[in-house]
Amino acid sequence: MPLGERGGWDKSESRYCGVETDFNDDMPNLLSFNLSTAGFDFLLATLMDPTYRPSLMESGSNGAHVLPFAGSDLVLSPSQWSSHVVGKISSWIDLDSEDEILRMDSETTLKQEIAWATHLSLQACLLPSPKGASCANYARCVNQILQGLNSMQLWLRIPLEKTDDDSVDSDQTIDSWELWNSFRHLCEHHSQLSVALNVLSSLPSANSLGRWFGEPVRAALINTDSFLTNARGYPCLSRRHQKLITGFFNHSIQIVISGNSVHSLPGASLDSAANHTDAQRHPLRPYLDYVAYLYQRMDPLPEQERFEHGYRDFLQSPLQPLMDNLEAQTYETFEKDCVKYIQYQRAISKALLDRVPDEEASSLTTVSCAYPFADVLMVVGAGRGPLVRASLQAAEETGRKLKVYAVEKNPNAVVTLHSLVKLESWENIVTIVSCDMRHWDAPEKADILVSELLGSFGDNELSPECLDGAQRFLKQDGISIPSSYTSFIQPVTASKLYNDVKSHKDLVHFETAYVVKLHSVAKLAPSQPVFTFTHPNFSTKKSNQRYKKLRFEIPSDTGSAIVHGFAGYFDAILYKDVHLGIEPSTATPNMFSWFAIFFPLRTPVCIRPGSSIEVHFWRCCGSSKVWYEWCVASPCPSPIHNSNGRSYWVGL
């Protein structure tokens, strides 16, 4: 029974809540009691009798061990095994023990249980937490298993331990993230190795918790000891735990209830026991009900999030509208972004009011349809006309007269523009120009130059180069919309994105910038500005090459962290106080035309608590292309990525 739905629409795996069970050789009854009776969706079940040790087994005549598994695979149907059971590897195993017999028994048992789980077609298996800070042999055995594993996921149990911030000796600080990071490094960041967090009654700082949202966390095990008791005697969680659980729900992390009931519910007397329903008799049902309550009270996904849901953490190559002609479907997607065009219309309206004062505007109302005294507005890169429409609406709103040139290089979009002019009766107002703005010989100077050439990183779709070529037909006192834009970056933990890039097994993909709807990422420090461009730029010594060195300070209460790459954004000033952008602290609400950009690192960089990371970014310009280069200088230097644009560039 899923926890519920959010606003009638939800595809998240976090709707399903599991329960951790002890070993039971009657799997059908265990499944029925916890799923049918209690309403849980899956079991976290031990696969092997915990008393089993390979060294204690006697070999038969053929040398084979008889394995005391929990029944046979026939006790449940294949679909039940696959859909309702997550295997739990025996918790006693210790592959880094000094005791050689225990170590050998552990290795044998681990491989046997994983083989059995594979035979059962389980979707996942829970590995016990490493017994100490040294886990090299454990990781080696897991890595061997991962090399030949089918699609099954391995969840490594990691306690979400509170760091000892008050410790005088910083070496004594406990950080379970470092244990996970060490283990996954030893396993080569394998994409089938994930985390199951053991949530305890005390929690680390908010910054420390935030790291985990960039890691491959698949489940959160909440022990009943972590629950408080509300005024009615029922289990509840602290506000910090509630916020954390909500974060898990938003990141498709499944909740698993663990432990025994520690709450005596009101009215649960022997006299009333006969009147209880089956669901009430399950001791952990109140905990499930509370988790369901937290899920159901969450706000429904906004319309924008529903639209973008399928794009979460999906790497896309950035558009190259200057080199390539966009397709109708791409135009249509961007044209649906009402917020962007509302902002453009506001900016154009303010520009028109500044260009033509009210007293002059009143004298133009009797001008003929040709509008000889109208302002000249040029939309460069007109596409299928949304900025033309926004410009004319701004003129109508302000009572100003316009003469519009719509300049577009894509011949297919020009066909649509001509049809639009006829459909809207704009023949005497709008002139269509089928030409690259950099090569057009304009018949007159423009008062206002409007463009939508911005990319996710501001300048990455060559807005500077295009507007440099177009500004020659802008008056010296003319207005460019946008008037300026700045790119931003911030270091992120993004395990999924890193593994997706790594799966290509080549250098090119690690030196490519990707457009991506960031979701399962941890933002480790506030973003900082990188490159700024201002228009018009009539300087005789202008250059669009840029270089910036940045230093990001990681908060000390974050603990250690890993940087898989950098998230990039932009913020643009369209005109005066009208801005547009996706930089997180100033992002334009409900706008979906741009996702962030992601610059990966070939080798992830580990940052110590309270330390900093120094980053260098270059924007390089050649005769036929523009490209970015980037590197980390400290705490440990990385190679310079994309040297000379060998892997990724934007064509001029």
List residues forming the annotated binding site for S-adenosyl-L-methionine. 331, 340-341, 408, 436-437
452 flagged as catalytic: yes
Q: Compute the distance between CA of residue 155 and CA of residue 268 in angstroms, rounded to an integer.
A: 37
Tell me which of 452, 465, 511, 629 is the catalytic residue. 452
Nearest to 460 by CA among 503, 537, 515, 412: 515
Is the bond leading into 50 cis (omega within 30 degrees of zero)?
no
- Cβ contact 511:601 at 8 Å: no
Q: Compute the distance between CA of residue 131 and CA of residue 33 in angstroms, rounded to an integer.
A: 32
Conformational region of residue 71, where left means phi above 0, alpha means psi within -120 to 50, and beta covers everything else:
left
**Helix, coil or strand: residue 186:** helix
Which 8-state DSSP code applies to residue 316? B
- Cβ contact 157:117 at 8 Å: no
Known binding-site positions: 331, 340-341, 408, 436-437
List Cβ neighbours of 296 (8 Å cut-off, separation of 6 or more): 3, 4, 5, 6
**Helix, coil or strand: residue 525:** coil
Q: Compute the distance between CA of residue 96 and CA of residue 130 in angstroms, rounded to an integer.
A: 8
Q: Compute the distance between CA of residue 518 and CA of residue 492 in angstroms, rounded to an integer.
A: 10
Q: Compute the distance between CA of residue 350 and CA of residue 176 in angstroms, rounded to an integer.
A: 55
Question: What does the angle CA 402 – CA 405 – CA 408 come to, to the nearest 5 degrees?
Answer: 150
List Cβ neighbours of 118 (8 Å cut-off, separation of 6 or more): 149, 150, 152
- 3-class secondary structure per residue, 441-496: CCCCCEEEEEECCCECCECCCCHHHHHHHHHHHEEEEEEEECCEEEEEEEEEECHH
Which 8-state DSSP code applies to residue 558? G
Q: Which two tokens stand for residue 193?
A: 């190795």
Which 8-state DSSP code applies to residue 76? S
- Cβ contact 558:205 at 8 Å: yes
Q: Which two tokens stand for residue 211?
A: 């790291």
Tokens 């735990």 locate to 241
Element (H, E) at 348: helix 338-355
Tokens 């201002």 locate to 534
Q: What separation in angstroms does the CA of 421 have from each of 164, 383, 405, 449?
A: 68, 13, 12, 20
DSSP characters over 246-281: HHHHHTTPEEEEES------TT--HHHHTT--HHHH
Question: Looking at this protein, which amino acid is placed at residue 126?
Answer: L
461 flagged as catalytic: yes
Question: What is the distance, to the nearest Å, from the Cα of residue 307 to the centroid of all Cα atoms in its chain?
Answer: 15
Query: How many Å is the Cα radius of gyration of the chain?
Result: 31
**Helix, coil or strand: residue 593:** coil
List Cβ neighbours of 13 (8 Å cut-off, separation of 6 or more): 252, 254
Q: Compute the distance between CA of residue 459 and CA of residue 617 in angstroms, rounded to an integer.
A: 13
Strand partners for 257: 19, 222
- 3-class secondary structure per residue, 153-165: EEEEEEEECCCCC
**Helix, coil or strand: residue 358:** helix
Tell me which of 215, 461, 465, 583 is the catalytic residue. 461
Q: Catalytic site residues?
A: 452, 461
